[in-house]
Amino acid sequence: MMNKFALGSVLALVLALTSSALAGEECMKKIEAGIKQCVADMKLPPADLAFDKDFAQYSNGTKCLLKCVGEFIGVFKDGKLVDSTLTTMTNDFLKEHPEEKEMTGTILKDCKNISEACPCATAAKMFTCARDIADRLMKGKMQKKN
């Protein structure tokens, strides 16, 4: 059984890949199903479920798990993001969270066209790109509040 930290990390992955992991209950159910399916299919050790590292530190298992979940929910195919799914999910997310327009726009602009020779590496680099942007923007918001 996956621990809550690992589940949270993978959910953060999907937020980063789609900028809309919080789009709604139906989306969250699909994400959770994808996580469970991919982890079960890949039989990964717990170390491969840590996504708080730099890209260079990811194992091949971690990279391919990111790809698997992205494919399962329909945002990643053939080594690229699926524009139509990504657009729908992002628009749904922004309806509920219009204050996150800057973050989603920056993530899409900076991370969408990343490409590596290996699709697993592409998914992982997209994730780390998006995660780092989201972290930076959230820290900036927190500093403005203080």
Domain boundaries, the chain: 4-145
CATH class of 4-145: mainly alpha
Give the residue-averaged pLDDT of 100-117.
81
Quote the CA–CA distance of 116 and 98 in Å, as a whole number: 32
Give residue 118's pLDDT: 92
Q: Please state the length of the chain.
A: 146
- Considering 7-16, 40-49, 66-75, 128-137, the range whose residues carry the highest mean pLDDT is 66-75
| Listed range (21-30, 70-79, 101-110, 127-136) with the worst mean pLDDT | 21-30
Q: What percent of the chain has pLDDT over 70?
A: 73
Quote the CA–CA distance of 100 and 113 in Å, as a whole number: 21
pLDDT top residue among 100 and 39: 39
Give 5-49 pLDDT, tens digit per residue: 444 444 455 554 544 433 456 666 777 788 889 988 998 887 777
What distances in angstroms separate CA 33 from CA 50, 72, 128, one per listed residue?
18, 9, 22
